[in-house]
Structures are given as structure tokens and as C-alpha cells.
Amino acid sequence: MYFHQFYLACLAHASYLIADGGEAAVFDPQRDVDQYLHAAERLGLRIKYVIETHLHADFVSGHQELAARSGAEIVFGAKAGAAFPHRAVRDGDILRIAGVELRAIETPGHTPESISWLVAEDGRATKVLTGDTLFIGDVGRPDLAGSRGHTSEEMASMLYDSLRTKILTLPDDVEVWPAHGAGSAGGRNISSDMSSTIGAQRRTNWALQTMPREEFVETLTAGLAPPPRYFPRDAELNRQGPRALSEISAPPITPDALNPDALILDVRDAEAFGARHIAGSVNIGLDGNFASWCGTLLPLDSPITIVADDEASASQAMMRLARVGIENVEGCVTTLDGFATVSLPQITARELNAVNATPRAVLDVRRRAEFWEGHVTDAENIPLDELPERLGEIDRSQPLAVICAAGYRSSIACSLLARAGFANVMSVQGGTEEWMRITYPRAG
């Protein structure tokens, strides 16, 4: 058996290819599917199945495109209600790729239709692909079912049963391969490890420890941050079937052709954006968690014009937007010549600390947990994902220095503030990391 994990770091997303005897199955493919097709061609494989463990909410899947380009059959759990031709499987159903058996295990809890897949060779179970049911060190959130008729508590109770009556009945040496890793919004405390075993998770994963149902439900549902706004949209796109990527393009746009209603998304780094950018632009750089921040902060249906360093960067931005279901890109700009531009003032952490510094308020846009680990004296904390809804809490009458960990999020925040009419904002270069180093130098 051939087994390979593909990992997309910017979305903390793992997909898989399993093959035997010239046949293959791809699990939970990302939207841009060339890598699976290239791997199949290189290895002389026919992709027989494209299998989804559930309706993903944090990215748009490539199941439709991969099936169309390979001739594979799409497989979903029967409860997904997918609106396109597919094989609907239930608990105990078996698929085969040559000598490898793939057994469907219904494991609702993260979503109602979640399916884990037990992989067996020569009659022996060797791996389980758990989707977002069981992560390494954690389990899937129970609050992403949305309007599908279940409360978070009901979903958590389902997950309690799935883990104890299905997952924990597997042998200790079965390898665990989830659909996401550390940093995914589908969980809260996912390990950086890429795989584990049932035995190791039985010993170390909090959710698999002996506890009453009520305690599990309360722990899993307590303090859940609201899911990003794009999650319900992506889940529905995956259920309906997303369009082909070939239908999405970003032609060059000149100053006289710029749509005045378009949101201008500048994907250059914070330094380039600060030096010069089109007035009213939102800066979300490609060098960070670009797609998830775009899905969280941008209006999902507004026309978008991308500003990038070059056409290759613009194409990358368009692809990464499409991965989270943002497809309304009208075009791209790769030179600022001819456009009305402005700059974003930058200050250093040392200037922020200077005794004779101009009085200014400080806005820290890190997560609350980061903020309480250490922050600039008298700084106000509004996490970046909450900023668009909390602009009314910020005093517009005085200069505002915006800070994050290192400068990526503060540039995003400043661009949002400037677009909302804040006239005197500046981004702190080096962020809190640099401020802490200057303010609290190590002795010796």
C-alpha cells in the first residue's frame, strides 16, 4: 500500500492519497488539485475515489474538480445531502482499492455527517483517517453545524458517543491521521504532531479520558469563540459543489478601469504597503495566514481588486481566496503608477517607548491570551477578528498606535481603521515582541 499525506500549512489542512495495485483514493482534497493528479501520473495510478470525511467549513474542497479531471467517484457520508452525483455511504460500508479495504465509520459530533475511514491491509486495520472528529491532542468543535438543526450541546453529546463507541474500540496500534493540524480553527488545542496512534491518544488526549457525558459536553462547549463568518458559506459550497477554478480569473486593471465599488485588497508585505498604497486599500499580506484572515475580515460578496507585487503573486492570492470561497475577484494591479496613493505611518517599538514621545493611545490587536502574556502599558485590547464590529469603542480624537506580535496583524488593522475614516493611525514595527525586548532586557 502507498500512503501519502499532503499538508497545506496556511490552512493547517491535511489531505491523503492511498493507493494499491494501480488504484487510488484521495481524501479531503484541497481546492487546487494538480498535486494529486501529478502524484497519480507519476506513480501510474488511477484515482478511483475522491472521499470526503465531512462537509468542510474552513476551506472549499476540490472534490468536484478532481473527480471531473480524473473520472473518480465522489464519496460522502449519506447524511451530508450532497447535491451532485456521489456515492452516499453509511456505517460499515466498504470500498476497495485493489487489496486495501476502506471501511466507513459514522462518527457524528463535529458535523452530523462525519465519517472516519478505517484502512485495512490483508484483513488487519492499520490506519484510521478521522477527518475533524479526532485530532492529535484534541477533537473537532461541535458548534459548526449552524442552521442544520443541532445545538452545540447536542453535537458534543454525539461526539462523546462517537469517540467512545467507535474510535476507542480500535486497537492501540492503529495510526491516527486527522484532516487538520495545529492552528486550525476546527479545534482549540491541536498538537503540532502530524499523526499518532489510538493508544497514544487514549493516554494523552483530554477528550478520550474517562469522564461523564455532562463533563465532556460542558468542557467542549465552554468558551467557544464565534467561528469565522465564511465557515457556513464554505460548507454550503462543498455541499452544492464548487465551480471549476478555470472559471475564476484576475485580469490586469488600469486606473481608469478600476471599479469604484470594488474592495482593494493589497497583498504585499506590511513594509511595502506602509510606504505606498492605493487609498482605501485593505492590507492582508500573502506572507501570513492570508486566506483565513480574508475570510474572517472581508465582505464575502463584494467585488475585489487585488494589488500585488507581480502577476504570480496576484494569481497566488486569487487561488488562496478561492480556497476559502471568495471568488469575486475582478482583476489585479501590479504597479501603482497612475493610481492615487497614500502611506501608512510606521513607528518603532523604541519610539513608542520614548519618554518624549507624542501622546498616543495604543491598540493591541492580538488574541486575548496573547495580550495577557504581556502588553504595552495602558494598551487597549481588541482582537483583530473583532475589530470591524468594535470600531465604535475606539477614540478617534487622538493618535492611535496599533500593535500586534510582530507587525502583520497591526498593518491589517491600520488599513481597516484608515478605510473606516480614522485619520491618525500608525503601525508599530516589530510589535510587542520588540517592545518586550526593549522594555524588559535580560540581565547580563
253 and 356 housed in the same domain: no
Higher confidence at residue 432 or residue 149?
Answer: 432
77 and 210 housed in the same domain: yes
Whether the Cβ atoms of residue 345 and residue 418 lie closer than 8 Å to each other = no
162 and 124 housed in the same domain: yes
362 and 266 housed in the same domain: no
Report whether pLDDT(254) > 60.
yes
Q: What is the CATH number of the domain that holds 96?
A: 3.60.15.10
For the stretch 154-204, pLDDT in tens is 999 999 999 999 999 999 999 999 999 987 776 777 999 999 999 999 999
Task: Give the three cell numbers for residue 437.
Answer: 525586548
186 and 260 housed in the same domain: no
Task: Give the three cell numbers for residue 11.
Answer: 490552512
308 and 213 housed in the same domain: no
For the stretch 75-99, pLDDT in tens is 999 999 999 999 999 999 999 999 9
Please give the single-letter amino acid code of residue 271: E
Residue 321: give the domain boundaries: 248-342
Rg (CA), the chain: 24
Q: What is the pLDDT averaged over residues 271-281?
A: 96
> Is 279 among the domain residues?
yes
271 and 284 housed in the same domain: yes
Whether the Cβ atoms of residue 231 and residue 58 lie closer than 8 Å to each other = yes
> Is 282 among the domain residues?
yes
Residues sharing a CB contact under 8 Å with residue 200, sequence separation 6 or more, in sequence order? none
pLDDT score, position 21: 97
Report whether pLDDT(411) > 70.
yes
For the stretch 323-357, pLDDT in tens is 999 999 999 999 999 999 999 999 998 898 885 66
Report whether pLDDT(36) > 90.
yes
CA distance 49 to 26: 6
Whether the Cβ atoms of residue 402 and residue 409 lie closer than 8 Å to each other = no
375 and 283 housed in the same domain: no
Query: Pick from 214, 239, 264: which residue ends a domain?
Result: 239
Per the structure, the count of domains in the chain is 3
116 and 66 housed in the same domain: yes
Query: Pick from 291, 325, 342: which residue ends a domain?
Result: 342
Query: Pick from 326, 342, 358: which residue ends a domain?
Result: 342
Q: What is the CATH number of the domain that holds 337?
A: 3.40.250.10
Q: Is 165 exposed, middle or buried (0-12, 13-18, 19+ CB in 10 A)?
A: exposed
Name which of 151, 133, 146, 144 is nearest 207 in CA terms: 133
For the stretch 131-142, pLDDT in tens is 999 999 999 999
91 and 149 housed in the same domain: yes
96 and 159 housed in the same domain: yes
